[in-house]
Amino acid sequence: MDSNGVTMHHPDGSAHHLPLPRARPRAPLRLALALAVTAVAGGTPEPAQARSLAAIERSGELRVLTRNAPTTWYIDRTGRPAGPEYELVEAFAAAIGVEAVYDRRASVGAIIDALAAGEGDLAAAGLTTTAARRERFRFGPAYQAVTQQVVCRRDNVQPETLRQLASVDDVAVIADSSYAELLRALERQGYPVPQWRAAEGTTTETLLYRVWRRELDGTVADSTIVDINRRYLPELLTPMNLSREQQLAWMLPPDAAALEAAITDWLGRYRARGDLAGLHEKYYGFFKVFDYVDTRVLIRRTDERFPKYRHWFRAAAAEHGLGFTLLAAQGYQESHWDPRAASPTGVRGIMMLTRTTARAVGVQDRLDPRQSIFGGARYMARMKGRFVDAVGEPDRTFLALAAYNVGRAHLHDAQVLARRKGLSPHHWRDIKQVLPLLAQPRYYRDLKYGYARGREPVRYVQRIREYQHVLENELRAEAMQQAWLE
């Protein structure tokens, strides 16, 4: 460490030099774990000869090039690898009977160079299939659709057309990216574009952070990356789309035809079983509508209110086998962590318990924050225990949250309705489709428990998942700040 900053070492072995924090540098730290840093991409060598599928299977290892980011590969709060690309790769590797070995690089350019040099069997890093890339590499089948979006700060320039975008002074995109390729294509076709620059050896997440810090006027990013990072940096705004829908796929060496065929066959089966939809639901299902004001309020109340109750949330979650941040996020959804909260329907306290529920879980004073938190945790644990063994995680948690909100009886009706429609009664991605139908007479008249405001539990679960996501990032930032100050 020098007088100007501190070098942080990430789980993937990379290092990042950050300035020493001032009294409470909340936002810069929020993004710290999402940044993959250092290393500068090299040139563009011709791809080396790929290992054959047979050679991969004989070696027992699939060498995967990726990067450390929330949309690809990262270390979760339990200390284990996670991420949409990670789970996809793990499923494919298991299907062909090998172990995935991850080589994490700091930028898209570095990943492409490493694949060209024969240092990996495939690149799984949220890569868009583009014409220029197809000239050098092979791609597997598409597994997700994204849109390239212009990103600015809401209190800065907000271009809504290409002509307005052309007047923006300082725009940067990551080098060797599909964003740079699109901007060059627009230039060649005579469209007005800004005087943009390609930033070497950095990440999209870093550029989003720089826009948030007002160090840049704008950048371009995939819609999935924007959705996640706006929860940490809520002042970011997407005034316009720069592209139509584009496809993400794994990038392969040009002579990896057998590997491509194996991936195509596996992904077809993975998609048909509903596993791909389940993966998207797990990581992106709660990023539907961004609420700037609500996110800012949550960040402020994490500082002001949450410290008073966090030890009780942690203890109650441990006692009843629940996730600490999930229970805390549920408490925020219920009351914004206000111990004296009350509604016109008679529910009260931090966990907004009814009188009947409070008696059932042994709560004598619903306005006592400790009693309310432990009572809510006990009730949530009961909801989770009322599903058959076929309901796995995270669906069991999401269904239990919905039952907490709408009642187990109405959730049972939703499961019945799901079966009637040929959907799964055990998966949240299907149940959230049918819950709103409980408000329609043609559906609820034939169900045991009748009418219910079915949209409310869908919003309830979505909000809690959003709050949990932001809260976990806040707590990571706080832990890092404490580590730096010790």
- Return the active site residues: 334
Q: How far apart are CA 241 and CA 103, in angstroms?
A: 32
Cis? peptide before 394, omega within 30° of 0: yes
Q: How far apart are CA 199 and CA 186, in angstroms?
A: 18
Q: What are 81's strand-pairing partners?
A: 75
- Up-side HSE of residue 174: CA atoms within 13 Å toward CB? 26
Q: How far apart are CA 73 and CA 204, in angstroms?
A: 14
Q: In what order do the strands lie in the sheet with 236-241?
A: 219-222, 148-153, 236-241
Q: At a CB cut-off of 8 Å and minimum separation 6, what does 273 contact? A: none
First to last CA, the chain: 13
Q: Identify the CA nearest to 453 among candidates 444, 445, 461, 465.
A: 444
Are 77 and 261 contacting, i.e. CB atoms less than 8 angstroms apart?
Answer: no
Total number of residues shown for the chain: 486
Q: How far apart are CA 426 and CA 281, in angstroms?
A: 14
Q: Return the number of other C-beta atoms located less than 10 Å from residue 261's C-beta.
A: 12
What letter represents residue 34's amino acid? A
Q: How far apart are CA 62 and CA 55, in angstroms?
A: 10
Q: How far apart are CA 280 and CA 288, in angstroms?
A: 12
